[in-house]
Every structure is written in C-alpha cells, then in structure tokens.
C-alpha cells in the first residue's frame, strides 16, 4: 500500500521578471486573480486534495507570503468591530492551521530542481506533492485531487499533463505515453523542450506533481541542465528508470499566470465564474464591446 501524501511543496522564490515593475517589491505569487492571490489558489487546491502540511520555498523579499498565511490581529479586530463577519470568516478559512505551514529559503536562484531540494528536510522520507503557483487551474475537482485518485490506484510518481499543439512542444517538458486511460497511463519518457520531430507525444507537463522522496538524492548531485540550472525534469529522467511514473490527463483548463496573457485571461474567466460579480462584469464587457 502506498504511503499517503500529506505534504505539498510550493516553490515561491522566483523573481517574477516578466511582471516588472509590479513585482519589484511584491512577489509574483501574490498577484491577484480577481481578489485572491495566486498562491492562495494553489494552497486551496492542495487542501481540497487532503494535504496537511504546506511547505513554501521562499527567497528574498517574500516575507509577505508568510504574513499572508498568518493571523493579522489588528485586521481581524477591525473587521469584527465593524460587523464584517463574512470577511472575517473567509480569512479564517484561508489560513492553514497552527503548525501546518513551514517556510525554508532558497538562497540562490538555481532552478526548480534546486528549490525542490531545499525542501528536503521538511518533507523527509515521504512522498509529496509539488505545485507551481504560476499554473492556475480551473477544474472541479481540483487537478491535485484528480492526481490523488490516480496515486491511490497506482502509487509511484504522478504527473499532470495536457495536450498542446504539436508545433508548440519545443516550449515545454513533454512525456511519452504508454498504456492506460487518460485518468492514469504509464509514462515512458520525458523530454525537455524537444523539437517537434523528436517529441514522444504532444502531452506537456503542467506544473503539478506527486513525487517519491528518492528524487531528493538525485537533485543533491547538483547536475546543471538547461540554463545552467538544476532542473527537476533531469532528475525525473533518471528516476523513471527506477520507479513508475503515471500521467494524468486532467479534466480542466490551465492558465499560465507567469505570462501576462495567461494572467489576464484567468482574471476574466474566474470573474465570470463568480456569482457575486459575473453579471455586472459581463455588462461592463458589453459596454466595452468585448462581448
């Protein structure tokens, strides 16, 4: 029987240069889609999937993320005194319970693989989920919950994937597809940004993973890959020779909020999903001639 996945790692040390000057003093993970920061959406997704321990790998100028997941007594007192009980309840629901959030520092920007390795002492010898907050999913149930269903059936390592146009595979990590249904198929290969003619499929890795702890010893070797950084995909390419990897072609849609277009599109779609603002927002879009 597979060990239960209780811990999720959130790499939040990136500089967010594509959103300068907005991210000069504010972490990109705190950019809001409608009225919730990107990192909150990722934590909500993890909580829905049964995660109990939230590990944030931070960097310089990221203290506001710690503050976001802490109690703010002055704010709560003000809301209570003004009778804003609904807002107060929402803040309470968003907070991890005492002791559930841990923070560690990635002192140098050495890549995603290095950020994951920085969480090794907090994760320990246990399987863990990895969520990239830039990738915002519109999915019910959440993508990590869908992956947990596959993990409970197969164990091992799980990667969320989605189809991209064959001409676009050179922009992503791509997996090879073996036997099995969309909800859980064998991954036969992983290639980072292949040429279209060399790609094993058009299924891209989508920023959600469940990984076994053996990945840490591979990342500890510090092998530099693309861009001179320690790449997670490189370590997974070694681990796949030793352990099973399962792909989940999830039911939902992803928005790459590390890009301006993806971020703006997410704001529109998530606003239209909100019963409290959808109709007034639609009316404004009509006034602008967008609808």
CA distances from 180 to 63, 113, 252 (A): 43, 28, 19
Structure confidence at residue 61 (pLDDT): 77
pTM (2 d.p.): 0.92
User: What is the CATH topology of the domain spanning 22-258?
Assistant: Spore Coat Polysaccharide Biosynthesis Protein SpsA; Chain A (3.90.550)
Structure confidence at residue 1 (pLDDT): 64
- How much of the chain is in helix, strand and coil states, percent to nearest 5? 40, 25, 40
Query: Residue ranges of the domains in the chain?
Result: 22-258
Q: What is the pLDDT along the chain (291 residues), one digit of tens a residue?
A: 678 999 999 999 887 888 889 888 889 999 999 999 999 999 999 999 999 999 999 988 788 898 888 888 888 888 888 888 887 787 778 788 888 999 999 988 888 999 999 999 999 999 999 999 999 999 999 999 999 999 999 999 999 999 999 998 988 889 999 999 999 999 999 988 889 998 999 999 999 999 999 999 999 987 777 667 888 999 999 999 999 999 999 999 999 999 999 999 999 999 999 999 999 999 999 999 877
- Burial track 186-215 (b if 16+ CB lie within 10 A, e otherwise): bbebbbbebeeeebbbbbbbbbbbbbbebb
**Who's near 212: CB < 8 A, 6+ residues apart?**
127, 156, 157, 239, 243
Structure confidence at residue 82 (pLDDT): 86
């Amino acid at each position: 029987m597979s060990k239960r996945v209780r811990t999720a790692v959130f790499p939040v040390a990136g500089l967010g240069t594509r959103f300068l000057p907005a991210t000069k003093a504010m972490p990109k993970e705190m950019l809001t889609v409608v009225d919730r920061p990107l990192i909150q959406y990722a934590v909500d997704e993890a909580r829905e999937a049964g995660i109990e321990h939230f590990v944030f790998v931070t960097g310089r100028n990221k203290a506001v993320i710690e503050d976001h997941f802490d109690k703010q007594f002055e704010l709560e007192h003000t809301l209570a005194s003004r009778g804003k009980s609904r807002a107060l309840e929402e803040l309470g629901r968003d907070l991890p319970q005492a002791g559930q959030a841990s923070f560690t520092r990635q002192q140098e920007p050495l890549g995603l693989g290095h950020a994951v390795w920085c969480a090794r002492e907090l994760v320990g010898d246990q399987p863990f989920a990895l969520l990239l907050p830039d990738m915002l999913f519109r999915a019910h149930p959440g993508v990590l919950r869908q992956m947990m269903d596959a993990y409970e059936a197969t164990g091992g390592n799980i990667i969320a994937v989605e189809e991209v146009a064959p001409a676009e595979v050179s922009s992503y990590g791509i997996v090879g597809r073996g036997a099995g249904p969309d909800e859980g198929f064998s991954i036969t290969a992983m290639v980072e940004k292949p040429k279209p003619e060399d790609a094993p499929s058009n299924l891209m890795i989508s920023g959600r993973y469940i990984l076994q702890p053996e990945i840490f010893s591979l990342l500890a070797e510090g092998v530099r890959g693309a861009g001179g950084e320690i790449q997670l995909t490189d370590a997974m390419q070694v681990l796949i020779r030793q352990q099973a990897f399962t792909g989940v072609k999830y039911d939902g849609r992803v928005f790459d909020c590390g890009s301006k277009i993806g971020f703006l599109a997410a704001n529109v779609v998530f606003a239209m999903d909100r019963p409290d603002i959808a109709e007034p927002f639609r009316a404004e879009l009509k006034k602008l001639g967008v609808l």
